[in-house]
Amino acid sequence: MDSQSLPIAFLKQIPTGQQQIEVVTKLGDRPMILGRDPSCDIAVDINIYASVSRRHAEIRPILGWGKLVGWEICDLSSANGTYVNEQPLSASQKLHHGDRIRLANSPQFVFELQTETLDTGVNQRPRSQITALTLTKLLPIFSTGQDLWKQAYLLPGIATVGFVVIMFASLGQPQIFNLAISAYISLAAYYFIYQLCGKPKPWWIIFGSALLTSLILRSPLLQVFFWFFYQVLPGTIPTQQANFTNVFIAMFFGAGLMEELLKALPIFLLWLGGLGMSKKWRSRYGISEPLDGILIGAASAIGFTLTETLGLYLPNIIQGVALQGGNVEMGELTGLQLLIPRVLGSVAGHMAYSGYFGYFIGLSNLKQSLRWQILAVGYLSSAFLHALWNTSALVSFWLLALVGGISYAFLVAAILKAKSYSKLSK
């Protein structure tokens, strides 16, 4: 007769100082609820784990072709969150052997997976039959389930193919080609920062922040910024006796302070919009912590970089080459050579400054008694880095590279610190 290898799993609760007994639960082919409600399948002690929701999380079986192939854990909109290997759980996630699950601040569980051979008769199939080819072996796409989306970076791969097709289709149309390649590079840079932050944010919030900044650059509000920072404040670069100090002062006011405030407008808008929301909704759609500010600030920088590069720098470069006697093709090639480093460098440029300032905006939400001091430090320091980058080209490209590296290090340090604040605020 037949024998088949079926997965079996156990959920072991890790003993704490308040609970010395290890609780082991065998998982089966039906969902199991974890929480402090006595009706839950895995009920924790309400007197010990008060931060756990009544129905906190659920472990569900994963079926493939009618067979049990694994388990996944889903957060049930708990108040204090569910964590897998110390990473916050935002949706369902497949469990693997050794995964550690934490509900709120505690308790903690370990997921252990093993296989068990079930014999349905006294005779076993020959080894040749056991190792026979099956549909899932020949077509593994049908057996990977949600891992295909969550662990295989499927969406970035599909996006890459899409942009490649657009680039091929736009050969001979430089404006569309430049837009496609700049959008792809900026999205790739942002995806890197998004993964580093490790906090989910709705795509329409991210896209909307970038779009809002782009619209501001094309609105009459930009002229108000120019008037204040270039006429009221000394933001105009001197045409005579321009040395490093004079240019730096002008860049600090005209580029650093002006542009960082402009790019921060979407962050402040989401901050104000989230004041009337609950903590959970504000964390997802507004600004509740430093990670939120970093993500929205970096997204805003994308809108700024693309609008400034495609709408200002590229046309000026192409027109300048034409005025010097060059042909259109030479101007377009020079523009492309400018576009790629400008957009790619935004991860250590505009995205770094805006994300860094966003960290302070989010931090001021956690430490409201020091809000204005925190905002002042973040605003001035991000403007300083911005101005230093713009002025460094006057000295040497080596200094430019050093400032870019420092700016990126500031951003990464802010992300790492923000992640520690994120854990404490749950």
CATH number at residue 90: 2.60.200.20
Q: Are 256 and 387 spatial neighbours (Cβ–Cβ below 8 Å)?
A: yes
Contact in structure between 52 and 107 (CB atoms under 8 Å): yes
pLDDT computed for residue 119 by the predictor: 42
Rounded to whole angstroms, the Cα distance separating 251 from 245 reads 10
Q: How far apart are CA 414 and CA 335, in angstroms?
A: 33
Q: Is 411 exposed, middle or buried (0-12, 13-18, 19+ CB in 10 A)?
A: buried
The fraction of the chain above a pLDDT of 90, given in percent, is 39
Question: Same domain, yes or no, for 113 and 206?
Answer: no
Please tell me whether residues 86 and 227 are part of one structural domain: no
Q: Which of 50, 109, 61, 69 is nearest to 85 (CA)?
A: 109
Q: Please indicate, yes or no, if residue 297 is contained in any of the structural domains.
A: yes
Work out whether strand 93-94 and strand 57-64 pair parallel, antiparallel, or are unpaired: unpaired
Q: What is the pLDDT of residue 22?
A: 64
Does residue 75 share a domain with residue 24? yes
Range(s) of the domain holding residue 125 = 3-136
In contact, 217 and 313? CB cutoff 8 Å: no
Asked if residue 234 lies in contact with residue 377, where contact means CB atoms within 8 angstroms, the answer is no
Q: Are 81 and 426 in contact (CB under 8 A)?
A: yes
Residues of the chain with pLDDT under 50: 1-4, 116-130
Residues 325 and 198 in one domain: yes
What pLDDT shows up at residue 211?
96
Residue 266 belongs to some domain of the structure? yes
Beta-bridge partner residues of 71: 61
Q: Is residue 311 domain-shared with residue 374, that is, in the same domain?
A: yes
Task: Write out the H or E segment, with its range, that includes residue 155.
Answer: helix 154-169
pLDDT at 385: 95
Do 82 and 182 belong together in one domain? no
**Are residues 265 and 326 both part of a single domain?**
yes
Whether 76 and 185 map to the same domain: the answer is no
Q: Is residue 153 part of a domain?
A: no
φ, ψ at 295 (rounded to 5°): -65, -45
Look at residue 162 and tell me if it is in a domain: no
Last residue of a domain, one of 136, 163, 198: 136
Distances (CA, A) of 233 to 60, 134, 305, 377: 61, 73, 24, 19
146 occurs within a structural domain: no
Q: In this structure, is residue 247 part of a structural domain?
A: yes
Which of 113, 136, 159 terminates a domain? The answer is 136
- 245 and 391 co-located in one domain: yes
* Residue 291 CB-half CA count within 13 A: 25
Same domain, 264 and 406: yes
Pairwise CA distance, residues 95 & 97, whole Å: 7
Q: Which residue, chain included where needed, has tokens 């072709």?
A: 65
CA distance from start to end of the chain: 53
- Model confidence pLDDT, tens digit, residues 270-313: 999 988 888 888 888 999 999 999 999 999 999 999 999 888 87
Q: How many domains does the chain have?
A: 2
- How many Å apart are CA 176 and CA 178, to the nearest integer? 5
Q: Which of 86, 110, 136 is the last residue of a domain?
A: 136
b/e map 306-335, b = 16+ CB within 10 Å: bbbbbeeebeebbeebeeeeeeeeebbebb
Collapse the DSSP code of 133 into the 3-class scheme (helix H, G, I; strand E, B; otherwise coil) and give the result: coil
Is 317 in the same domain as 184?
yes
| 109 and 200 inside one domain | no
